[in-house]
A = this chain, B = another copy of it.
Amino acid sequence: MELGVLYSGGKDSTLAALLLEEFYDVTLVTAHFGISDDWKHARETADAIGFAFDRLELDPAVAHDAVAQIRADGFPRNGIQQIHQHALERLARQEFDAIADGTRRDDRVPTVSRAQAQSLEDRHDVDYIAPLSGFGRTAVDRVVEDRLEVIAGPSEEITRADYEAELRALIADEDGHAAIRELFPEHDQTYVTGVHRG
């Protein structure tokens, strides 16, 4: 069975792929708006850890709507959530038997409710799997420690291919660099460079 994992190059989506690789033919799929080349970081990681890779172009209007939402809110949560849902809808239309993402039990954003999952599956005749949704934070951290080589650091310095990088670029372009610090609270990100298989 062919499965596409929505992929950022970070630890969560990498672990999601590792959990499913024994059961599916996994392709890592990085969604992007064509705003920056950050998706190439995800391709490098995919190559390094031995997975097939593809990219998925999203609708740039969704990025602009998300930025407007983030400006209005003063924080990124709802904008990121909108983009994640759009990316899942697009991924569900590709030629996969199943799709997956790296959302975890304790994530505040993005989240996919049971009703949203069921709706996605029914409308697109695809299985949606969130393999980390039954893992808490420490369970993920311990498996990551065992199995992944990661670089961690402040989100401004880590080059990965989540939506945040492109939204930051869009906001810097429109509002100047200072606006990024106002709207995106500083937090640590991870970027995966290798895996140890069991």
Contact = CB atoms under 8 A, between A and B. Distances in A.
B127 A136 contact: yes
A129 B134 contact: yes
B134 A131 contact: yes
Interface in A125-173: 127-136, 138-139, 142-143, 146-147
Contacts of A147: 23
Interface in A103-140: 103, 105-106, 114, 117-118, 121, 127-136, 138-139
A198 B190 CA distance: 30
B129 A1 contact: no
A1 to B, nearest CB: 6
A147 B129 CA distance: 17
Given A22-B198, A105-B114, A1 B132 contact: no
Contacts of A139: 98, 127-129
Given A19-B19, A23-B198, A138-B121, A131 B128 contact: no
A135 B1 CA distance: 15
A197 B136 CA distance: 27
Interface in A9-65: 18-19, 22-23
22 contacts: A22-B22, A22-B198, A23-B143, A23-B198, A97-B142, A98-B139, A105-B133, A106-B118, A117-B136, A127-B135, A127-B136, A127-B138, A127-B139, A127-B142, A128-B136, A129-B134, A130-B134, A131-B134, A131-B135, A132-B134, A133-B133, A133-B134
